[in-house]
A and B are shown apart, each in its own frame.
Chain A
Amino acid sequence: MTSRITALDALHRELGATMTDFAGWQMPLRYGSERAEHQAVRTAAGLFDLSHMGEIAVTGPHAGRLLDHALVGKLSALAVGRARYTMICDAEGGILDDLIVYRLADEHYMVVANAANAQTVLDALTTRGEGFEAQVRDDRDAYALIAVQGPASPAILGSLTDADLAGLKYYAGLPGTVAGRPALIARTGYTGEDGFELFVAPRDAEPLWRALTEAGAPYGLVPCGLSCRDTLRLEAGMPLYGHELTAATTPFDAGLGRVVKFDKDGDFVGRAPLEAAAERAQSDPPRRLVGLVGAGRRVPRAGYQVVDGAGTVIGEVTSGAPSPTLGSPIAMAYVDAAHAAPGTDGVAVDIRGAREPFAVVALPFYRREK
């Protein structure tokens, strides 16, 4: 199967990006050093092509009610101009995807799904929308998505737009113009830093990227690939579908039960099993998602076993990487509740046969100063 390419593909190649196949898309992995890109986002700014993300429009008088039924959140209560992190679960309460939903107008929501799950989400919303006075539309080809992330991002974007960025809260979005191009400007991101995501027409993506590159140069903005996006989100303790989140995991198992809103009107897909999962999380918690920090240099990878002092398997790593900010290997892992408290002694990760000691810590590993 041939990979899809984004509107910025030629530009990535011009910039010398190392490209990789990701969820059926040719995407930039890195342009130079992924550690330098990571540091640029923490200290200055980075520019990302996220056009592989899947946009789905839900419109009509019952759009909010449809989403209340189809997702675990209460999207009918979302104010126009705001965004919310939520999930779509199957009938057993397993996570099908994690999502960001923007309410663009009273009767217009935009659901943003992970690239690998976009078709699943589109199909589920279509099926679950039957009987509602609302339409579900595949908008994947309508948008390119560019993110500018990092402490310098308000200054950089501010030099290219008249939009009221100071008045734009975290997890909010407003229509505007950036470098003369119409854009939905959202203050969202996946890096743990302040930043913006710009939804634009594909034909506007390259001119916008070039304008941001030029405006950002004095601030130290650099183009960034998927590799540093992963270490940034891991440091920020943000879960990744296919790693921390899977169809075998409920939001409560992942420590994200707060996204499930039982207080909404009507039934929603997964309600009964999710109520049971909520109860179980209180009374008899299964494995818990924790952070691990190592003293050495060997890096735990997804699937490696977490063991106690006696060598008994007590969990499994879901994501791991060398942390550029901490200077140590870090990981997220599901471990038995008895070993999940920060400071628990004797925890190690089996790294290809060697038991490397790791400290259990609270997530996230990194929190920006506000």
Chain B
Amino acid sequence: MSNPVELRYSKEHEWLSAVQDGVATVGITAYAADALGDVVFVQLPEVGDTVTAGESCGELESTKSVSDLYSPVTGEVTEINGAVSDDPALVNSAPFEGGWLFKVRIDGELPGDLLDADGYAAFTQG
């Protein structure tokens, strides 16, 4: 599973798209989705919620465990992916595409510790 080069990655295994008009898309990586196993339930933040970089803003339930969903950036949620709420398996089948989780209007600068694709690949192989 290759990590798209146009994305940025957190050490909590979220990805962040390029920022357009102040808004970026957030999902979890293929590496994280594979580690979770089959995702059966996602609890996402609501539109209008403020999320904070590095803090929990939802949860991902899989067969064997439940994991917190962290936001890689601080900002206001502008959209959530209703398709994933209806069909959580999208997180496994298309983590970088149809399985995106929410969009966020970024407040301030991007955190400095986000990784590029190579950096994330090295991090997950470490």
Contacts and interface: CB of A to CB of B under 8 A. Distances in A.
A34 B41 contact: no
A338 B69 CA distance: 38
A67 to B, nearest CB: 35
A298 interface: yes
Nearest to B42: A297
B35 to A, nearest CB: 8
B41 A297 contact: yes
Contact of A298 (B38, B41, B92): B41
A34 B64 CA distance: 10
Interface in A33-90: 33-35
A322 interface: yes
A227 B37 CA distance: 9
B94 interface: no
Contact of B66 (A18, A33, A299): A299
A231 interface: yes
Contacts of A299: 40-41, 61, 66
A41 to B, nearest CB: 14
A321 B63 contact: yes
Contact of A227 (B43, B63, B88, B92): B63
A35 B88 CA distance: 13
Interface in B88-104: 88, 92
Contacts of B40: 297, 299, 322
Interface in A215-246: 227, 230-231
Interface string B21-40: 00000000000001001101
Given A30-B37, A299-B40, A299-B41, A322 B66 contact: no
Nearest to A225: B37
A34 B61 contact: no
B83 to A, nearest CB: 15
Interface in B37-93: 37-38, 40-41, 43, 59, 61, 63-66, 88, 92
Contacts of B61: 297-299, 322
A335 B10 CA distance: 42
Contacts of B88: 297
Contact of A33 (B38, B43, B59, B65): B38
Contact of B63 (A18, A35, A352): A35
B66 A34 contact: no
A321 B38 CA distance: 12
A103 interface: no
Contacts of B43: 298
A301 interface: yes
Contacts of B37: 18, 29-30, 33-34, 227
Contacts of A321: 63-64
Contacts of B92: 33
Contacts of B38: 33-35
Nearest to A36: B38
A227 B34 CA distance: 14
A261 B65 CA distance: 38
A361 to B, nearest CB: 20
B40 to A, nearest CB: 4
A170 B41 CA distance: 37
Nearest to B43: A298
B33 to A, nearest CB: 11
A298 B66 CA distance: 9
A299 B34 CA distance: 19
CB-based closest 10 A-B pairs: A297-B41, A322-B40, A35-B38, A34-B63, A299-B61, A34-B37, A33-B38, A227-B64, A34-B38, A227-B63
Interface of B: 34, 37-38, 40-41, 43, 59, 61, 63-66, 88, 92
Given A18-B34, A299-B61, A352-B66, 18 more contacts: A18-B37, A29-B64, A30-B37, A33-B92, A34-B37, A34-B63, A35-B63, A227-B64, A230-B64, A297-B41, A297-B61, A297-B88, A298-B41, A298-B43, A298-B61, A301-B65, A321-B64, A322-B61
26 contacts: A18-B34, A18-B37, A29-B37, A30-B37, A33-B37, A34-B38, A34-B64, A227-B37, A227-B63, A230-B64, A231-B63, A297-B41, A297-B61, A297-B88, A298-B41, A298-B43, A299-B40, A299-B41, A299-B66, A301-B65, A301-B66, A322-B40, A322-B41, A322-B63, A352-B59, A352-B66
